A and B are shown apart, each in its own frame.
Chain A
């Protein structure tokens, strides 16, 4: 467990910044402090929270908010598939809890260390993972609360809610690593721009569909053989 805590500590700084930004953004989007705290405790997913805020503010339909939440969380399906062999022998309750609480940072420090481990699912691996997960949870919740408190103090004229948009951009940019991804993002952006007057913010869905289609098309066009 201590090894896990040690490995995760640099990631915790990043997590702390996200936590404060997300906390501020929740309050500045019009949530009451109680609502913001419940959201933080229950949803526990920064990107999904930041994504949902403009949708909630616009009164978008519930199903669209759910769909958007699933889409921005999709990366965890891929993480989960990779982590699954290490935890398959635990009881379903433990798997549910550990899965629910796992975050990007825990995956990022766990996989390089144990991906090639000859034996998967050891005591050491479990406790390493639990260490990263608990530390991340505490840091995230505490810094979110700090952000919520700050958000209530800072005046509206500072436009701190813009920080949430910037935070989403900071999440996107490091992942734009290839030309097909760039083209896909640009296509999704243009679609979102053109369709933003659609009712119920359905343009978001159009942007995702176009983004996937253009991405896969340009992957085939530009890099016929390369597989990343």
Chain B
């Protein structure tokens, strides 16, 4: 029995690894396709202006799609949540607008999170 339990756990891990490394190889492929695609096949692919302007909006929309659920998570039962991360992010945005410095954005956001947690005793 013990051995069986061990085995299933090992299998689980292997599957996780399979999932992870499949994803990683495909992400490597993403890098290659987007960066080297034009280098390799540039003679054959035109990039019309319409497509170009549509492509301009996609990356930022995707980043917003990742960032927002991290800042404003939605609990399966309790619904929308607000926590100190949102406050920290607001401080970080303010600092960026003021200094135009991406590094300070990260530092101030982290410090704001730590400080506010300490202040609110969380």
| A and B co-occur in one complex | yes
What is the minimal beta-carbon distance from A106 to any residue of chain B, in angstroms? Answer: 10
Report the minimal beta-carbon distance from B8 to chain A, rounded to whole angstroms: 18
Q: Which of A92, A165, A173 makes the CB contact (< 8 A) with B70?
A: A165
A167 contacts partner chain B, Cβ-Cβ < 8 Å: yes
Q: Are A45 and B22 in contact (CB under 8 A)?
A: no
Q: Is A42 an interface residue (CB 8 A)?
A: yes
Q: Which of A186-214 contact B (CB under 8 A)?
A: 186-193, 196-197, 203-204, 206-208, 210-212
Q: Whole-angstrom distance from the CB of B32 to the nearest CB of chain A?
A: 5
The distance in angstroms between the C-alpha atoms of A207 and B34, with both chains bound, is 21
- Return the chain A residue nearest B38 by Cβ: A80
Quick check: is B121 within 8 A (CB to CB) of the other chain? Answer: no
Chain A hits for B40, CB < 8 A: 92, 95-96, 99
Could you say which residues of chain A place their CB within 8 Å of the CB of B100? 174
Name the residue on B nearest A93 (C-beta). B40
Within 8 A of A (CB), among B64-105: 64-74, 76, 80, 85, 88-89, 92-93, 96-97, 100, 102-103, 105
| Contact A42-B24, Cβ < 8 Å, known A172-B60, A196-B73 | yes
**Residue from the list B26, B31, B105 in contact with A45, Cβ < 8 A:** B31
A83 at the interface (CB under 8 A from B): yes
* Binary A-proximity of B19-41 (CB < 8 A = 1, otherwise 0): 11111111111111111111110
Q: Which residues of B contact A99 (CB under 8 A)?
A: 32, 35-40
Known: A73-B30, A163-B106. A212 touches B58 (CB 8 A): yes
Q: Pick the contact of B63 from A45, A79, A158, A172 — CB < 8 Å?
A: A172
Tell me how many residues of B have a C-beta within 8 Å of chain A.
Answer: 67
Size range of the chain A interface in the assembly: 35 or more
Q: Among the listed B62, B88, B89, B92, which residue makes an inter-chain contact with A204, where contact means beta carbons less than 8 Å apart?
A: B62
| A175-B60 contact given A81-B38, A193-B68, A204-B66, CB 8 Å threshold | yes
Cross-interface CB contact of A81 among B17, B25, B42, B106, cutoff 8 Å: B42
Known contacts A17-B103, A70-B30; is-contact A77 B37 (Cβ 8 Å):
yes
Q: How long is the Cα–Cα vector from A99 to B57 in the complex, in angstroms?
A: 23
In the assembled complex, the Cα of A102 lies from the Cα of B70 at a distance in Å of 30
Supply 14 further A-B pairs (C-beta < 8 A) apart from A14-B102, A70-B34.
Answer: A39-B27, A42-B27, A45-B30, A65-B27, A76-B35, A84-B39, A165-B70, A169-B89, A174-B100, A185-B61, A189-B67, A192-B69, A206-B65, A216-B54
27 contacts between A and B (CB under 8 A): A17-B106, A21-B106, A43-B28, A45-B30, A52-B27, A54-B70, A62-B19, A65-B23, A66-B26, A69-B27, A70-B30, A92-B40, A95-B36, A96-B39, A100-B36, A167-B102, A169-B93, A170-B96, A172-B63, A172-B64, A173-B105, A186-B64, A187-B61, A188-B61, A192-B69, A211-B57, A212-B61
